[in-house]
Structure 1
Amino acid sequence: MHFRWTVVLIGWLAGLSTLLANHYVPAPLDELILTGKNYLYHANFHQARQTFLTVQQQYPDYPHGYFYTAYMTLLVYSQNLSNDSLRQALEDQISLAQKVAAAFRKKNRQNPDAIFHQGLIFGLKGVLYVLDRSYLRAYWFGRKAIRYLEEVARLDPDYNDTYLGLGLFHYYVDLLPRILRFVVHVLGFEGDRVLGKQELQRAVRGGHYFREEARLMYILFTYFMEGEMQQSIAELKRMAADFPENPIPQLLLGYHYRRTGKLKQALEIFQQTPEIYPELLPQMVNIKYYNMAVIHFEMNRFDAADSLLDYLIRLPTRKSIYYQAAIHFYKGLIADLRMDRPTAEWHYAKIPRHKQSKYWYNAVQMYRKHPMDSLMKAYVMARNLYLGLQFAESLERVEKVLARLHAGVKSTHPDLPYLVRDLQAIDYFFLGKPRKALELYAELIPEISRMEDKVRKSWIYIRYARVLYSTGRFKEAAQMLDRANDVDDDYTHLIVKREEIIMERKQAQGK
């Protein structure tokens, strides 16, 4: 989850730095900007930064160089959120860029370039609040930025780069949690996912400086939120071929293959992914080794996973709160599977109740409250087989656990009977037996109101909804997604929104 939004954020940061078509910019400045962007695409981070500093030195009255200096610092800060001195430097750079942009606008009242750069600075501030997970504040600064973008679009409708920012904003607002969407609606602002996609497409087709950023963002939204995997992955492969030095397309491809169960292929991609600037972009390196460890875990290779996690801990890269929590989750779970409860409890206790680690805090509660036993261990290993697309093997293990439960064997985990039956049902679905899956879920769903773990209960509703809408039962699927949304977990809310989008498309295709 955090990986997808880390990459989305990096793409968004780039997307916020859209410029006007080159006829608004002096030709030498235009050339410098394009040179810096080319360095950035090919992961030559130091040369890109130096180029943008040169812009600042050669064009001190233009806001471009100051903006790009702050922009690149923001990229680095997004990977080092606990670095207070870097945060202060970034805020100082944004403040300076804002002053230069205001002075430039004063001298160039009707120049779209001047108007646009004032919007960019508000965009940078908005991203800072996204990093802080203060989404309503992020919305406010985003809205201020959008007002400038809208003015630019009115002055020059063919300014295609501006549609990247407009598209991101309109799409983002449509993804806000329901209560926040209601608040911004009352205030007179609307998100529009469909319009956002169209605007992104326009930037992809006609963007001057930011066609590649628009291309990446369109891939991310269509993949993560629209579920259009085939189209997205084909375009992502082309991007990886265009920029082989850049790890982002490769990391995304590896993530795709891991999440779709092609674990060996995913492992090969992560092993081949270059490690760039670990001191500046540490999370890129952390993402690589973390995913390799998770792949081994999902292959039931717990010793190999543990070794990779230890290697990741020893790396001198700064770990975000999210990745610290993720490491402790898997280290604790591996210790639990080895029946080493003291070590497991030590790791579990290290996961804070923090907004950046909320996903892992929620995930660990079941294991923290209840000791591992042989039944839960068998379930974890069966679920890993399911994640690796070994549905028959997973089902065989699941039904052995069910047989023991039916024979009267008790588990220390009160939710285990529900989790096992959920896995049994979804295994049958992927084995091509949707009717059997529906029967099993119909028996299970009335009982899960008793579950202790509210997040895992929501995910049972989500999986049942997928089976329902895959068999054309859209109304019932919508009801299950409504139930799934009734939980205090941002990631679950986001997945519910994605499932609603996918279901809407499937329903339209069936008409």
Structure 2
Amino acid sequence: MKSQFCTKPITFLLFIIMTVSLSHFTYPQNHIKEVKEGLELCYHFKWSQAEELFIKMINENPQKPVGYHHLSGIYLWYYLGNRSKEDFNNFIKYSDHAIETAKNTLNDSPENASVKYILGSNYMYRAIAFTREENYLDAVWASKKSETYLLEAIEIDPKLTDAYLGLGLYNFAVGQIPSAFQWALSLAGIKGDKEVGIQYIKNTAVNGNTSKVEAQYYLSQILSEVLFENEASLYYLKNLVRKYPENLLFNYSYAVLQVKERNLRDAQKTLLKIVNSDNEKFHQIISFSKFLMGDIFFRRNEFDSAKVYYHAFLNSSPTNDYTGIANYRLALSYELTDDRKNAEKYFKNSGRGNMDLEDDQYAKRKGEIYARRSLSENEINLVESINLIEAGKYSLAYDSLKILLGSVRTEWIKAEVLFYLAEAAFRLNKLEESFNFALEAKEINSQDEKWIAPFAAYYAARVYHVKKDMRNFNEMIELIDDYNEYDYQNKLKNMVYSLTHSK
């Protein structure tokens, strides 16, 4: 077993960068025309043409790092998209060439900001690749080298706005690390500020030169995945998908956001284009799209269709990321279609996911419970009612949950029914009811489902926020800190951050 102390804070540091850094940092001065042309080809998913262009740049200027750097970036895309060892090795080969030629150039021109920028960018590439390989020590030191070179580049040329993207991602990721681990990283000289990171990324998204597109994508992901500002994220993703309709990553991220916004119809339309793609270099995105299609049908309570896509995801994913939650929802799909034998099988498989992901942690815990027993009738009704909320059918959910509330006797089920009633009522603009349901759920404080009370406190605080009652809002937010060791703790931390920083 790997040491959780060693790996978890480092994984958290690089998780945001790893999940969104599927694009290129750029070379701001020399070869600007060719670089922009090559990047546009990448954004349009015309990879062979992009490779040819960067190889041409290498052949014409073998002593310069720019061609090697961007070619290594293409292989990083490939590696993150399919986990191929051959693509990883090609990435390392061209990354080594980029770093070697860049350092040779610095020997003759030590104040060359552009070359320092390439070094900083390429070391960030390496941090991403090493993290994916679970080589955490090399990943941390590559991140630190990246920060050092990017800071030196900006010190030489403060107008080098593209460099702020890498620094922004670094600062943001470090700022996301739980305070309990900050001291350990500070010993290694790794420090960062979340607010500073966001401002740096926004700077490049607005003022960037060749990194503007990447910055807009990264910002969209942080807005939706961490800050829960979905409307702002949608603005960027709509523009990116409109400009680059062939880009599977941009389309997938747009579909994810639509699912979060409970706009399942538009999400399905986008995902169908991805799951029908035959792009072998990016089958990880295609596989995740199958998982998301399963979620769409699951939320519609169309469980037979959900099974098809969950199986397709589990049979195609090259990693164990989200396989726990996929197995769990697949098991629920069998349970709710009266197939206990298969339900038990997949509940038992729910612990096979990535235990650094909160979805997979939750799936493991719940799967162990339902592998030993069937769901009760009330639990089945609760699942179907929750799905109505996730499908945006708030009135139907509200009515079904009210009926369910009258028949529930089990403490934790009652707490969860009240919790989801608070959400349905809030979406129907029944603020007083939402507040009262949330308080009732919080006061039950079920030890079987410890997550309900802190999330219910958040729902109560949300009503205070809408009413501009900031004194009670702040008191309720402070109460959330009293809870610990519950499901989705990091998610709630980000939700609280977003709410406390919203107008």
Return the TM-score normalized by structure 2. Answer: 0.86
- Is 1:64 paired with 2:61? no
**Contact between 1:62 and 1:104, CA under 8 Å: does it hold in 2?**
yes
Q: 1:452 aligns with which of 448, 451, 455?
A: 448
Aligned equivalent of 1:177: 178
- Is 1:379 paired with 2:382? yes
The residue matched to 1:172 in structure 2 has which SS? helix
Call closer, same or farther: CA 1:45–1:103 in 2, change over 3 Å. same
Aligned equivalent of 1:12: 21
Query: Within 2, Cα distance between the matches of 1:392 and 1:237?
Result: 29
**Contact between 1:240 and 1:250, CA under 8 Å: does it hold in 2?**
yes
* Letter aligned with residue 400 of structure 2: R
Query: Within 2, Cα distance between the matches of 1:402 and 1:390?
Result: 18
**Greater alpha carbon shift after TM alignment, 322-331 vs 142-151:** 322-331
Aligned equivalent of 1:368: 368
Aligned equivalent of 2:426: 429
The residue matched to 1:362 in structure 2 has which SS? helix
**Contact between 1:122 and 1:142, CA under 8 Å: does it hold in 2?**
yes
**Greater alpha carbon shift after TM alignment, 473-482 vs 40-49:** 473-482
* Letter aligned with residue 27 of structure 2: L
Shift of residue 461, structure 1, vs aligned partner: 4.3
Aligned equivalent of 1:324: 323
Call closer, same or farther: CA 1:444–1:11 in 2, change over 3 Å. closer
* Letter aligned with residue 485 of structure 2: V
Q: Give the root-mean-square deviation of aligned CA atoms.
A: 2.9
Shift of residue 118, structure 1, vs aligned partner: 2.4
Shift of residue 483, structure 1, vs aligned partner: 4.0
Partner deviation per Cα, 1:280-310 (whole Å, 9 max, x = no partner): 1112212322222211110111122123334
**Greater alpha carbon shift after TM alignment, 288-297 vs 138-147:** 138-147
**Which runs of 5 or more residues in structure 2 are unaligned?**
1-13
Query: Within 1, Cα distance between the matches of 2:252 and 2:127?
Result: 26
**Greater alpha carbon shift after TM alignment, 166-175 vs 90-99:** 90-99
**Contact between 1:468 and 1:476, CA under 8 Å: does it hold in 2?**
no
Shift of residue 154, structure 1, vs aligned partner: 1.1
Q: 1:78 aligns with which of 80, 91, 116?
A: 80
**Contact between 2:120 and 2:149, CA under 8 Å: does it hold in 1?**
yes
Aligned equivalent of 2:106: 105
Call closer, same or farther: CA 1:443–1:219 in 2, change over 3 Å. closer
* Letter aligned with residue 58 of structure 1: E
- Is 1:497 paired with 2:487? no
**Greater alpha carbon shift after TM alignment, 112-121 vs 184-193:** 184-193
**Greater alpha carbon shift after TM alignment, 339-348 vs 159-168:** 339-348
Return the TM-score normalized by structure 1. Answer: 0.85
Query: Within 2, Cα distance between the matches of 1:7 and 1:241?
Result: 24
* Letter aligned with residue 320 of structure 1: T
Shift of residue 121, structure 1, vs aligned partner: 3.1
Note the 1:87-486 alignment, pairs <5 A: 87-131=88-132, 138-184=139-185, 190-273=191-274, 276=277, 278-312=279-313, 317-351=316-350, 352=352, 354-355=354-355, 359-370=359-370, 371-406=374-409, 415-448=412-445, 450-455=446-451, 458-471=454-467, 472=469, 473-483=472-482, 486=484
**Greater alpha carbon shift after TM alignment, 162-171 vs 83-92:** 83-92
**Contact between 1:129 and 1:137, CA under 8 Å: does it hold in 2?**
yes
Shift of residue 464, structure 1, vs aligned partner: 4.0
Query: Within 2, Cα distance between the matches of 1:87 and 1:392?
Result: 50
Call closer, same or farther: CA 1:425–1:173 in 2, change over 3 Å. same
Shift of residue 379, structure 1, vs aligned partner: 0.2
Call closer, same or farther: CA 1:177–1:424 in 2, change over 3 Å. same
Query: Within 2, Cα distance between the matches of 1:502 and 1:306?
Result: 36
**Contact between 2:323 and 2:360, CA under 8 Å: does it hold in 1?**
no
**Greater alpha carbon shift after TM alignment, 91-100 vs 287-296:** 91-100
**Which runs of 5 or more residues in structure 1 are unaligned?**
507-511
* Letter aligned with residue 59 of structure 1: N
